[in-house]
């Protein structure tokens, strides 16, 4: 979860710039690669884009 400033703006507490990270969330990937988030989400759901989904609490893919 990203911290929120007094002005209500979400900030990223990670000091590593987005473009240098090994893993990104979908919103971060859309921002870094300047693509539409909703389009990226559709591509992920259609399995056109490979993603890593960590296991949930039951040990099943998320």
* SS3 sequence of the chain: CCCECCCCCECCCCCCCHHHCCCCCHHHHHHHCCCCHHHHHHHHHCCCCCCCCCECCCCCEC
* pLDDT for the residue numbered 53: 79
In this prediction, residue 48 carries a pLDDT of 92
In order along its 62 residues, the chain shows pLDDT tens digits of: 566 777 877 777 777 777 787 778 899 888 888 899 999 999 999 989 888 877 888 888 76
Residue 51, classified by CB atoms within 10 Å of its CB into exposed (0-12), middle (13-18) or buried (19+), is middle
Cα torsion 1, 36, 17, 4: sign: negative
Distance CA 36, CA 59 (A): 31
């Amino acid at each position: 979860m990203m911290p929120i400033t007094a002005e209500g703006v979400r900030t990223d507490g990670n000091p590593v710039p987005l473009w240098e990270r090994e893993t990104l969330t979908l919103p971060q990937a859309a921002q870094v690669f300047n693509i539409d988030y909703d389009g990226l989400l559709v591509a992920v759901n259609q399995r056109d884009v490979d993603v890593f989904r960590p296991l949930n609490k039951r040990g099943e893919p998320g």
